Structure 1
Amino acid sequence: MGWLLLVLAIVLELSGTVSMKLSDSFSRLGPSILMFVFYAASFTCLNYTLGYMKVSTVYAIWSGVGIVLISLAGGLIFQEKLTLTSILWIGIIVIGVVGLNISGKEG
């Protein structure tokens, strides 16, 4: 259940960040409202996730995967260019998230 809540929290956080970009600095009402709804739902799921998993693991995965996904969304949805070095550092984040998940199973 913890992993399902964490995935939902990540998807909602991604939706909130996309809505933030679409809100155009709060000049568009619909995306501005959605941003608050998505972030509130994301933090709610994140809070429930902590009942099943360690906070260090949850937050690292939530933020790391969120960074990777919003970087990809920026390129795909908003045509923001990712440089080769940006892609390299995103890969480092992915390696860190995987490593943290593996190391969490040892203890």
Structure 2
Amino acid sequence: MNALLFAYILLGFAIISEVTGSTFLVKSEGFTKLWPSVAVVILFSLAFYLLSQVIKVIPLGIAYAIWAGVGIILTAIIGYFVFKQSLDAAAMIGIGLIVSGVVVINLFSASTGH
């Protein structure tokens, strides 16, 4: 398998781990519930480990921008649908800008290793 493709697959898993960890962060209720707290620690550790593997191939700034941007978007979606948290117009515009930034990086930046 191509190293760049594999790095992007790992980045996807890192994002999923981070978003799932963030979801359990809410469920941990300030680390007062044991099992959701354990899940937070495990999932965030996994996310950072995977990210550390990704940056062997993809530059840190690019990998982190994608990881953080997609993570913010998915976390906002989970917050909206699962936890019934509202998103106002400013939040929606900001998320749209994040999506635009991730698209620009992936389509037009020579730094991504295309």
TM interval, short-chain normalised: over 0.9
Q: Which residue of 24, 36, 40 corresponds with 1:31? A: 36
Q: How far is the alpha carbon of 1:30 from its aligned partner?
A: 0.6
1:82 match: 87
Unmatched tracts of structure 1, length 5 or more: none
1:70 match: 75
Percent identity of paired positions between Structure 1 and Structure 2 = 32
Q: How far is the alpha carbon of 1:17 from its aligned partner?
A: 0.5
1:22 match: 27
- The alignment covers a number of residue pairs equal to 107
> Which whole-Å CA distance do the structure 2 matches of 1:10 and 1:101 have between them?
16
Q: How far is the alpha carbon of 1:23 from its aligned partner?
A: 0.1
1:94 and 2:99 equivalent?
A: yes
Contact 1:74 1:80 in 2 (8 A): yes
The Cα RMSD (Å) is 1.3
Q: Which residue of 46, 60, 64 corresponds with 1:59? A: 64
> Which whole-Å CA distance do the structure 2 matches of 1:65 and 1:93 have between them?
8
1:4 match: 9
Q: How far is the alpha carbon of 1:103 from its aligned partner?
A: 2.6
> Which whole-Å CA distance do the structure 2 matches of 1:39 and 1:64 have between them?
16
User: Normalised by the size of structure 2, how large is the TM-score?
Assistant: 0.89
Q: Deviations over 1:38-82 (max 9, x none)?
A: 000000000000111111110000001111110111001100011
1:49 and 2:54 equivalent?
A: yes
Contact 1:5 1:45 in 2 (8 A): yes
Deviates more, 1:34-43 or 1:76-85: 76-85
Please identify runs of 4+ aligned residues in structure 1 that moved more than 6 A. none
